[in-house]
């Protein structure tokens, strides 16, 4: 009640960035820069570095505006959004070891079905308890998003990298905030 909603949401997003060290934003930038770099090799005169920065700005703006709208659900969103995003990353990683390279391949090889099952129960049970059907809908949307995003990256780049893990976390956080704000 003491701080304007825009200032509060901007401060909260900045705190989330500082808490993770910006690691996931770096992954988002690298993911979109690689996609732009691959496209710029087929077309002349494209500045690929700007695409990653633009992706970061767009994601941060969506997060800030979604937090502005949340009001009474803001505390709940701040607790659930990072948890849902990490769960979506686990869904993204599971079964991707054949299409991964480097650290991403080693991580994906170690993710087993029981990890995904346990994490799904541990994540979706409290989310459903706190949000009801809306929580299940958000979980469904995030799982579909992460699988579609993985398929697009595999098709476009041929391999998945650890930078893609950070990208899926940032995009999942933004998507879950958007869904919480609109549902």
- For 100, the 3-state DSSP assignment is strand
The per-residue pLDDT for range 49-71, each reduced to its tens digit, is 788 899 899 999 998 888 888 87
User: What's the residue count for the chain?
Assistant: 183
Mean pLDDT score, 68-95: 88
Least confident of 4-13, 21-30, 166-175: 4-13
Higher pLDDT, 117 or 102: 117
Mean pLDDT score, 5-23: 84
Kindly tell me if the per-residue pLDDT of 124 is higher than 90.
yes
At 98 the pLDDT is: 81
How far apart, in whole angstroms, are the C-alpha atoms of residue 97 and residue 110?
9
Residue 158, C-beta contacts closer than 8 angstroms, at least 6 positions apart? 99
Mean pLDDT score, 101-122: 89
Higher pLDDT, 89 or 47: 89
């Amino acid at each position: 009640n003491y701080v304007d909603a825009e200032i509060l949401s901007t401060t909260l997003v900045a705190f989330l960035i500082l808490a993770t060290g910006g690691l996931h934003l770096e992954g988002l930038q690298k993911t979109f820069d690689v996609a732009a770099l691959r496209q710029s090799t087929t077309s002349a005169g494209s500045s690929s570095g700007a695409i990653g920065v633009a992706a970061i700005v767009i994601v941060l703006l969506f997060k800030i505006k979604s937090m502005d709208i949340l009001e009474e659900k803001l505390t709940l969103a701040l607790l659930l959004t990072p948890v849902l995003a990490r769960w979506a990353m686990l869904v993204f990683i599971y079964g991707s070891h054949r299409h991964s390279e480097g650290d991403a391949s080693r991580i994906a090889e170690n993710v087993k079905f029981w990890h995904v099952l346990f994490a799904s129960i541990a994540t979706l049970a409290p989310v459903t308890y706190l949000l009801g059907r809306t929580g299940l809908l958000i979980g469904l949307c995030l799982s579909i998003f992460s699988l579609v995003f993985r398929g697009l990256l595999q098709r476009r780049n041929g391999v998945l990298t650890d930078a893609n893990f950070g990208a899926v976390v940032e995009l999942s956080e933004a998507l879950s905030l958007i869904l919480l704000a609109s549902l």
